[in-house]
Amino acid sequence: MLVDKPTVMQILVAWRDNKWIVERNAVEVGAYAYRVHAIDRAKALAAEAAASGIDCYLLIRERDGAWSEHPCPRRPRRRAGD
């Protein structure tokens, strides 16, 4: 079920089939070889949520199958001149 104006964004970063998958509200938005790149994508999605004024949370499934929930990553700080 899709909602026209969601009030919460779920971001999932999970190790599947030899790659890191990133999903937003259960829809895959990227697949990455390295965890750091998947987390960067999660940060970009969190920034989108913040810009839209909606709450978000991050679920991570590690390579060993362990799940953890985290607050959404903060927006990357802008450097002078950006």
Predicted pLDDT at 74:
62
Residue 82 has pLDDT above 80, yes or no: no
Instruction: With beta carbons less than 8 A apart as the criterion, state whether 47 and 56 touch.
Output: no
Predicted pLDDT at 35:
94
Predicted pLDDT at 31:
97
Higher pLDDT, 39 or 1: 39
Alpha-carbon distance values, 13 to 5, 9, 47, 56, 79 (Å): 23, 13, 16, 13, 26
Residue 75 has pLDDT above 70, yes or no: no
Question: Under DSSP, is residue 77 helix (H, G, I), strand (E, B) or coil?
Answer: coil
Confidence of residue 52 (pLDDT cuts 50, 70, 90): confident
Predicted pLDDT at 27:
95
Cβ neighbors of 54 (< 8 A, separation 6 or more) are: 6, 7, 8, 9
Cβ neighbors of 35 (< 8 A, separation 6 or more) are: 13, 15, 20
